[in-house]
Amino acid sequence: MDLKRALALSAAFAIAFALVGQGRAQDAALTARIQAAYDAQCADIIHGDFTAFEATLSPNFLATVQGTTVTRDEMVSGLKSGLGTVSLTSCKTFVDSVTQSGNVLIVMSRRLIDGTDPASHKAPLELAGGTRDMWIEQGNGLVETSSMGLWGTVSVNGQIVRTSGDVPSSPPLETNPPAPPAGATP
């Protein structure tokens, strides 16, 4: 191989590796942006600020929960009545994957909310669930346009009292969470 060809190949490899590295940096930046949006939603939920939470949803937001479609207003009303009586202590969303097409982001995520059971006022309450969400980039921010519930659990005092969807066999959420359930692809 002559020197010119060797230099050309080295330059090509250097460019290819730089592009791969740039793609990973962009993926990390995109994941960080969506994680920040979920963190803001969690903060709104914990503080009972359902007006701020509603502002993260597009006006035409639709969610599918256990096969039923609900509007943004119905979702926020349900959160107010369901979580408004619970003493919440933590909320964390784990972003499993983000796929971008133009200004649309498809996100596979899992959320864990901890609090106190309103019936006993002391038993630990845990809500966990996995979703496939769609967000759009709007101006300098992100707005959630739809959410499809894939699975969910409600636990009181460490015992699961309600499930929906295809709940993973391993613990639903943890510090190093498992992959989303089989068949849950964007």
Q: What is the CATH number of the domain that holds 154?
A: 3.10.450.50
Count the domains in the chain.
Answer: 1
Residue 54 falls within a domain, yes or no?
Answer: yes
pLDDT at 135: 96
pLDDT at 184 over 60: no
pLDDT tens per residue, range 61-80: 999 888 889 999 998 888 88
pLDDT tens per residue, range 80-109: 887 767 788 899 999 999 999 999 999 999
Residue 125 falls within a domain, yes or no?
Answer: yes
Q: Which domain holds residue 21?
A: 3-165
Residue 158 falls within a domain, yes or no?
Answer: yes
Residue 176 falls within a domain, yes or no?
Answer: no
Residue 183 falls within a domain, yes or no?
Answer: no
Residue 81 falls within a domain, yes or no?
Answer: yes
Amino acid symbol at 116 = T
Residue 28 falls within a domain, yes or no?
Answer: yes
Residue 179 falls within a domain, yes or no?
Answer: no
Range of 6-10, 55-59, 115-119, 123-127 with top mean pLDDT: 55-59
